[in-house]
Amino acid sequence: MILSNDSSKPIYVQIAEWLENEIIAERFTANEKVYSQYQLAELFNINPATAAKGLTILVEEMTLYKKRGLGMFVAPEAKMMILEKRRNETLTKMVTDIVLEAKRLSVTKAELIQLIHKCEEEIQ
């Protein structure tokens, strides 16, 4: 992933989301050590304080936990928590926006479902 300075999301949020994606993809698994703020800073060519903010978000959400003197580790239930959060927050907002736009465009529920199936087939 390449971080975007043009994104509406702050870099530290993009760092947190990148780490979440790595956990979902199981490139980091339960109780595994993740990159330090300095490793993230070097990897993405950003300030270590910015990287630390991204890690802090995940610690506050209990996706990561700290071991004093050893670093940050993936919480045992991290993947499940991320998937649940994204289903409840991100996906719900996206679907709400789609449904509202469909209503504005007078797209029926059946047409919308058909469009979803078409997109799903194209992805596969």
Structural domain tally of the chain? 2
Residue 5 lies in a domain: no
Looking at the structure, tell me whether residues 67 and 110 fall in a common domain: no
Q: How far apart are CA 90 and CA 92, in angstroms?
A: 6
Looking at the structure, tell me whether residues 50 and 93 fall in a common domain: no
Looking at the structure, tell me whether residues 101 and 114 fall in a common domain: yes
Which helix (H) or strand (E) segment holds residue 74: the answer is strand 71-74
3 band by pLDDT with thresholds 50, 70 and 90: confident
**Quick one: pLDDT at residue 1?**
58
Cβ count within 10 A of residue 41 = 18
44-91 pLDDT, tens digit each? 999 999 999 999 999 999 999 999 999 999 999 999 999 999 999 888
**Residue 124, pLDDT above cutoff 90:** no
- The CATH number given to whatever domain includes residue 45 is 1.10.10.10
Structural domain including 42 reads: 11-77
- Does this model's pTM top 0.85? no
**Quick one: pLDDT at residue 90?**
87
Would you say 55 and 17 are in contact if contact means Cβ atoms under 8 Å apart?
Answer: no
Would you say 41 and 80 are in contact if contact means Cβ atoms under 8 Å apart?
Answer: no
Looking at the structure, tell me whether residues 73 and 88 fall in a common domain: no
Looking at the structure, tell me whether residues 87 and 110 fall in a common domain: yes
Q: What is the mean pLDDT of the chain?
A: 94
**Quick one: pLDDT at residue 35?**
97
